[in-house]
Amino acid sequence: MERILDVKNLEIDFKTYAGTVHAIRDVDFHLNKGETLAIVGESGSGKSVTVRTLMGLLASNAKIVGGSVDFEGKDIVQMSEKELTHLRGNDIAMIFQDPMTSLDPTMTIGKQVAEPLRLHTKISEKAALAEAVRVLELVGITNAKARLKDYPHQFSGGQRQRIVIAIAIINNPKILIADEPTTALDVTIQAQILELLKEVQEKIDTSIIFITHDLGVVAGIADRVAVMYAGKIIEYGQVDEIFYNAQHPYTWGLLEAMPTLETKSDRLYAIPGTPPNLINPPAGDAFAARNEFALAIDLQQEPPFFQVSPTHAAATWLLDPQAPKVTLPPEIQRRHQIWEEKFANKGVNA
């Protein structure tokens, strides 16, 4: 499997009034060519900061303390502003968490969609607009030619998000980063946009990093999943490995907290406690204080990654050969049983 992106030991701090926030603490992952990698995890765990780094778009109070991001033999972390502009225009495009603020309210849709082409290629205005129509139709804006002169507020929320996607894909990026692109949309439009992303992925053979809180969406769109907690990736694997054979107690908590339409009980399961303060991250496993399965060692020493399969690993001491066996929560037992029946011993196609 060919890697298109390789992130190594990334560490990012933010200076704030209250102190230095260690937002990203030694993050390692890679993106395979043509795949969709979903990043899930606690709000505030560093998903947006991580992907913003891939585009050289960090806030002014951010500091990359260490690490590298290898893209086609070059380290994005070391790139000059000029190289980054080229990268953003041609290779890596991003759909932001907040669709409303990523369109310019004073500029027509035609201009905005054609802009990346105008900036990064030598195409004429007329040809650029023709291309804008093609892409707008690709993302499902009907009657696109007639609407080129319309402004963002004349479109519905779902349409605006489609326009944002059109801008992101017009230059056929090699990597498309989607940071909660459907959070503000209803399920019907969400389904259309996910379908659209899949189509686009096939048509232009792009690799996708997809951030979302909706595990249903992850189940439908991801090839692989990385789970983040407190500035670290704590588990990663193929989508079936994460949904049916999760090993980290934080991943268990996420899967348990998801109500299904069948959920009847009076209270939802929520992971107890609050996320750690990233100004003074705790010693050992940052999740230990909230982890009912925590071992003594969790409070002292950070767990390394234990490999579960060639594609699946989790950073939890529970996987240490010396760890006691624990009784899994019922929902996780149910999922592991599906794993035993459907996937175990059959090998997952890596």
Partner 1 sequence: MSEPEVLLSIRNLVQTFNPGKRNEVKAIQDISFDIYKGETLGLVGESGSGKTTTGRSLIRLYQPTSGEIMYAGNDIAKLKHGSKAMLDFRRKVQMIFQDPYASLDPRMKVQDIIAEGIDVHHLAKSEQDREQQVQALLEEVGLNASHATRYPHEFSGGQRQRIGIARALAVQPEFIIADEPISALDVSIQAQVVNLLKDIQDRQGLTYLFIAHDLSMVKYISDRIAVMHYGRLVELASADEVYNHPLHPYTQSLLSAIPVPDPSLERHRKPIAYSAAEAEDDGKQRDLVEVYPGHFVFASEDEVAGYQNAAKESHGTQSVSQEQ
d(CA 144, CA 48) in angstroms, rounded, equals: 31
Query: Candidates 46-54, 88-96, 169-177, 283-291 — which segment interacts with ligand ATP by CB under 6 A?
Result: 46-54
Q: Which residues in this chain contact Mg ion in the complex, by CB under 5 A?
A: 48
User: DSSP string of 23-84?
Assistant: EEEEEEEEEETT-EEEEEE-TTSSHHHHHHHHTT---TTEEEEEEEEEETTEEGGG--HHHH
Interaction of residue 142 with ligand ATP, rule CB under 6 A? no
* Identity of the amino acid at 160: R
**Site residues for ligand ATP, window 82-121 (CB under 6 A)?**
none
d(CA 65, CA 57) in angstroms, rounded, equals: 15
Interaction of residue 197 with ligand ATP, rule CB under 6 A? no
Q: Which of 72, 75, 83, 98 binds partner 1 (CB under 8 A)?
A: 98
d(CA 129, CA 125) in angstroms, rounded, equals: 6
Would you say 42 or 241 has its CB closer to ligand ATP?
A: 42
Tokens encoding 97: 């968490």
260 contact choice in Mg ion, ligand ATP, partner 1, none (CB below 5 to 8 Å, kind-dependent): partner 1
Interaction of residue 186 with ligand ATP, rule CB under 6 A? yes
**The length of the chain, given as a count of residues:** 350
- Cβ count near 183 (within 10 Å): 16
Would you say 129 or 176 has its CB closer to ligand ATP?
A: 176
Interaction of residue 95 with partner 1, rule CB under 8 A? no
Would you say 89 or 275 has its CB closer to ligand ATP?
A: 275
**Site residues for partner 1, window 298-337 (CB under 8 A)?**
none
Shortest reach from residue 198's CB to partner 1, in Å: 12
Interaction of residue 44 with ligand ATP, rule CB under 6 A? yes
d(CA 127, CA 257) in angstroms, rounded, equals: 50
**For residue 36, what are the β-bridge partners?**
208
267 contact choice in ligand ATP, partner 1, Mg ion, none (CB below 5 to 8 Å, kind-dependent): partner 1
Would you say 210 or 244 has its CB closer to ligand ATP?
A: 210
Interaction of residue 23 with ligand ATP, rule CB under 6 A? yes
Interaction of residue 279 with partner 1, rule CB under 8 A? yes
d(CA 52, CA 17) in angstroms, rounded, equals: 22
Which residues touch 215 (CB under 8 Å, ≥6 apart)?
Answer: 40, 243, 254, 255, 258
Residues 247-266, one symbol each (x = binds partner 1 by CB under 8 A, - = not), give ------xxx-xxxxx-x---
277 contact choice in Mg ion, ligand ATP, partner 1, none (CB below 5 to 8 Å, kind-dependent): partner 1
